[in-house]
Amino acid sequence: MTKKKKIKDEEYEAMRQRALHPFKPTLTDDDIKAFEEKVRTESLEAMKKQKDKLNDYEKQQIKEKSSFIHGGF
């Protein structure tokens, strides 16, 4: 047997052994669900903060307009 053939046989055997072992994912369904819940919660909190900022800005704009309208004309 040549050296090249022996290396190919060893590589083939290593691939065959890896194929025989069952796949074990590093993340479970529970891990994924927990991560999704975390992202969902953070997203909702960020949305609420943005909404509050927008509401505060709109209130400020309304006050400025009403003070201008009622101010001197």
Residue 70 lies in a domain: yes
- For 13-71, the pLDDT digits (tens) are 888 888 888 777 788 889 999 999 999 999 999 999 999 998 888 888 888 877 766 66
Q: Give how many domains the chain has, as a whole number.
A: 1
Domain assignment present for residue 39? The answer is yes
Confidence at 11, pLDDT banded by 50, 70, 90: confident
DSSP the chain: --HHHHHHHHHHHHHHHHHHSPP--SS-HHHHHHHHHHHHHHHHHHHHHHHHHHHHHHHHHHHHHHHHHHH--
pLDDT at 59: 86
Position 15 in a domain: no
- Residue 38 belongs to a domain: yes
- Residue 16 located in a structural domain: no
Structure tokens at 38: 């975390």
Least Cα distance to 10 among 46, 2, 22, 64 occurs for 2
Tell me whether residue 47 is in a domain: yes
| 1 band by pLDDT with thresholds 50, 70 and 90 | low
- Which pLDDT score is estimated for 71? 63
Q: 8 in a domain, yes or no?
A: no
Tell me if 33 is assigned to some domain.
Answer: yes
Q: Which domain holds residue 34?
A: 25-73
Tokens of 49: 């903060």
